[in-house]
Structure 1
Amino acid sequence: MCKVERIIEKHDLSGLNEEIRRQHGNGTSLRRLEKLINTRILERALMDAEVALVGDTESIYHILKEDESTPGRKAEIRSQLKQAGPPASDVEDDFISHQTVKRHLQNCLGMDTKRQAQITLDSAKDTIEWTQSRNQSVIENTLNRLHNAGLIKASDLDVTQSIRVTCENTGNTFHLWDFLKRGGCDCNRSSDDAP
């Protein structure tokens, strides 16, 4: 039994293999699958240990795994997990890498992990959402560091991003999600329809 199967069994994560298959089939990257599995592990461990931490599971996972997280915040989360006892205290031991995800897909689920040259709208949206979330987190952490260093005055900041796409041919500007939903700009259709 591979590590992912053992973890699925240990944390009673029924249905996770189906979700992994579906996400991989939609073009989700191995790193995104790694995050999906690890956040599910963390969520179950927190629930089983009846731990209430400030923030959603993805934010807590981000603090534990990302280099730009402040050491103090990481230590605070780890201390709370340790005080809660198993399974929360040893949850990081169950986290898996994207290489483990790849082996699980190949050896346990019989799926091809070769990079697909074809991109889908769903995989593109996943990539954009991941990038936005990461950028937002980096900005928030940087502002908090500036505040803690006494260089800016702020409290309880909420960073949001608005991405716009402008077609250079027509000059039309769209919100990113509207642009994707409508299938791009009309510039090509207009020129094709011209007599």
Structure 2
Amino acid sequence: MTETECSCKVGRGVERFGLAEVNDDLVRRWCGEGRERQSLRELATYFNQQLLGAAVESADEAPLSGEIENRYRLLTADDVSSGVRTQTRRRLEAAGVPVEEVESAFVSHQTVHTHLTECLGVSREAEESDPETRRRADRDRIRALQSRTEVVASDALERLRETEALALGEFDVLVDVTVLCDDCGRQHDVGTLLDQGGCDCRE
């Protein structure tokens, strides 16, 4: 599904700004493949940020981490003053970014939904009706949360160790989720439980 031709606003933006991989990203983020599911509004923000980032990079700019997200916020957020918004536009234009063209290519969440369902043929509701697909999606979501917890814990411990606020040598952080079946007393790794479709005592 990496390539698709469509004439909707998302498709035109993909073609104009060379975002060949964004279709797969939108599908994964909407369906929750290997991550938490994102709403259509979150996907619209993500897509618009990709447009802005591609335009900035085409102008031979090298944005720092988080800079595109901040510039997008300054261009679109309701709590940003008109003066700050104008200043942001002028800075981008001075760097060679076609701001007006980029802003006109920004999409709404309704447009993203149309692109996903009509252009890409994705139906999250259909996938949700299949028990195995639902289990797989939730397993991937839980694993993503486990990984995030490991990263957050590792970063916190590392900062404390570096500032000598914590006495600790080299370490690894492991996050496991165990499910206890109250009916039979068995314990299951949550991923294994989801993969096998439930506890053996229910068969």
TM bin (shorter chain)? 0.5 to 0.7
Aligned match of 1:23: 29
CA contact (8 A) 2:43 2:112 kept: yes
What letter matches 1:109 in structure 2?
A: L
Q: When the two structures are superposed, what TM-score results if normalisation uses the length of structure 1?
A: 0.57
- Match of residue 59, structure 2, among 44, 49, 53: 49
Aligned match of 1:90: 101
CA contact (8 A) 1:105 1:113 kept: no
For residue 113 of structure 1, report the CA deviation from its aligned partner. 5.1
CA contact (8 A) 2:31 2:124 kept: no
- Unaligned stretches of 5+ in structure 1? 130-177
What letter matches 2:38 in structure 1?
A: T
Which is worse superposed, 77-86 or 55-64? 77-86
Aligned match of 1:135: none
Aligned match of 1:122: 141
For residue 24 of structure 1, report the CA deviation from its aligned partner. 1.4
- Unaligned stretches of 5+ in structure 2? 1-6, 149-172, 186-203
Task: Write out the 4+ residue segments of structure 1 that deviate beyond 2 Å after TM superposition.
Answer: 50-55, 69-73, 81-90, 113-123, 181-184
For residue 50 of structure 1, report the CA deviation from its aligned partner. 2.5
2:18 aligned counterpart, secondary structure: coil
For residue 84 of structure 1, report the CA deviation from its aligned partner. 3.6
In the alignment, structure 1 residue 76 sits paired with structure 2 residue 87: yes
- CA displacement 1:70-111 (0-9 Å, x = unmatched): 433222111112334453442111111100000001110001
CA contact (8 A) 2:89 2:99 kept: no
| RMSD of Structure 2 on Structure 1 (CA) | 3.7
CA contact (8 A) 2:56 2:97 kept: no
Q: 2: distance between equivalents of 1:61 and 1:31?
A: 14
Structure of larger gyration radius = 2
Q: Do the aligned partners of residues 46 and 89 (structure 1) sit closer, same or farther apart at CA in structure 2, a change above 3 Å counting?
A: farther
